[in-house]
Amino acid sequence: MTWGVVQVFADQEPHIPGKDETMIPPNETFYGALQKKGVTRRRFLKFCTAMTATLALPPRYVAQVASALEKTKKPVLVWLQFQDCAGNSEAILRSSHPSVLEVVLDLLSWEYHEIIMAGAGHQAEAALQRVVKEEKGKYLAVVEGAIPLADDGVYCTVAGKTAISIAKEVCTNAAATIAAGACAWYGGLVAASPNPTGAVGISEAVPEAKVVNLGGCPQNPANTAAVLVHYLTFGELPALDQYNRPLFAYGRVIHDQCERRAHYDAGRYVQEWGDEGHRRGWCLYKMGCKGPQTTFNCPSVRFNDSTSWPVKAGHGCVGCGGYNFWETKSPFYERLPNVPGFGADVSAGKIGIGITAAVAGATVVHGIASAVRDRMRTTPPPEKI
């Protein structure tokens, strides 16, 4: 039972023969399923190559990835959505990249995804229940969105159950949970100050769950696919950093991979939106680019079929892949954060220059006063010398 997920997308892909074969049994091998859909071996290997590159593995792993995927049985996946904007779902759906689309959709047997499942109501919830019971310990869960904990979690309910109770049930029984996007990781925008709903990420809400965090707003679908491919190829999750983010995607600073980096080093900066430097593609450092502070693989993997990413499109990085970026990387168009206790339009530089000037002024005044004091001293008689 696959809720017609694949059907929706097969309809958008007229060039794939055999598109009416949409019901792929969950226990079929992945490659078999792809073949049925008419995906050629060439395209399959292209996908394997792209995934191997995303995982930062050397090319000789392509064969291993391919043979593992050929044999692998389609694991079941459920996609939960809580306090979110559906941006991570959209990011996956927008990837017209045939390989990512087909693979993410066909690699797995998608049993539950609110946005794209055909079923609704009791039928849909029954499918989720079936997965949790029958596939216990074997299925993968993807969580999108934050989980509110304030007031017993009433600020987000699905089918009459709170997000926290659904997450507890689904994520503790899953083989692994992927937190897709900033909100699922640590609460994201929803948890940004003042966080009225007490939103947290999945690791905090369900500490027992085995979680891979894919930060970003949204996460990059290529990375999500690569995590799945890694899991299917090697039977384990990829190496993770201290935030449980995969190192292949979050191990390097954006600034070190950026195509505008030569302009940064040369000292050529955009000073104003639309100025000469901006038109010539110079570095966005002075426009508040947070590329130097953020680790992510956007410059190499990019979004929308590797078409572009924010800096390539001419906008500075806002650091969405970093922890708590709404708080720590803002203001997005300034070099440094605001100084706590001062207003939003007083920069650290202005405060610093102000303090320095005040000290200089006070020193001048003190100097004059000291000179006066010195003059007022009584002169001792000359014989004392």
User: Which residues sit at the interface with another protein, rule CB under 8 A?
Assistant: 242-243, 253, 255-256, 262, 264-269, 271, 277, 285-286, 290, 292-293, 319, 322-324, 328-329, 335-337, 339, 348-349, 351-353, 355-356, 359-360, 363, 366-367, 369-371, 373-375, 377-380, 382, 384-385
Measure the N-to-C terminal CA separation of the chain; round to a whole number of Å: 108
Q: Considering only CA atoms, which of 236, 283, 278, 239 is closest in space to residue 258?
A: 283
With CB atoms as reference, the residue minimizing the distance to ligand HEM is 292
Using CB under 6 A as the binding rule, whether residue 284 contacts ligand SF4 is answered as: yes
In the bound complex, what is the minimum distance in angstroms from residue 285's beta carbon to another protein? 7
**Residue 32 or 292: which CB sits closer to ligand HEM?**
292
Q: Smallest gap, in angstroms, from Cβ of residue 227 to another protein?
A: 22
Q: Is 120 in the site for ligand HEM (CB under 6 A)?
A: no
Name the residue among 250, 244, 263 with its Cα closest to residue 293: 250
Residue type present at position 334: E
Q: Which of 48, 311, 318, 320 binds ligand SF4 (CB under 6 A)?
A: 311
Length of the chain: 385
Q: Which of residues 248-277 bind ligand SF4 (CB under 6 A)?
A: 254-255, 258, 260-261, 264
335 binds ligand HEM (CB under 6 A): yes
CA–CA separation, 36 and 117 (whole Å): 21
**What is the token pair recorded at 267?**
């000292």
The answer to whether residue 314 forms part of the interface with ligand SF4 (CB under 6 A) is no
CB of 259 to ligand SF4, least distance (A): 7
Please spell the DSSP secondary structure of 322-377, one letter per residue: STTHHHHS-STTSSSPPPTTS-TT--HHHHHHHHHHHHHHHHHHHHHHHHHHHHHS
The partner in contact with residue 317, picked from ligand HEM, another protein, ligand SF4, none with C-beta cut-offs of 5 to 8 angstroms by kind, is ligand SF4
- Cβ contacts of residue 179 below 8 Å, gap of 6+? 143, 185, 201, 202, 203, 211, 212, 213, 214
Number of residues that bind ligand SF4 (CB under 6 A): 15
What is the DSSP track for 125-162? HHHHHHHHHHTTTT-EEEEESBEE-GGGGTTSEETTEE
Where in 337-356 is the site for ligand SF4 (CB under 6 A)? none
CB of 352 vs another protein, minimal distance in Å? 3
Q: Per the structure block, which two tokens stand in for 219?
A: 């996460």
- Is position 302 an interface residue for ligand HEM (rule: CB under 6 A)? no
Amino acid identity for residue 76 in this structure: V
CA distances from 58 to 8, 55, 62, 65, 212 (A): 35, 9, 8, 11, 23
Structure token digits, residue 88: 């991570």
194, interface contact from another protein, ligand SF4, ligand HEM, none, CB < 5-8 Å by kind: none
Which of the choices ligand SF4, ligand HEM, another protein, none does residue 254 contact, using the CB cut-off of 5 to 8 A by kind? ligand SF4
Residues at the contact surface with ligand SF4, assessed by CB under 6 A? 254-255, 258, 260-261, 264, 283-285, 289, 291-292, 311, 316-317
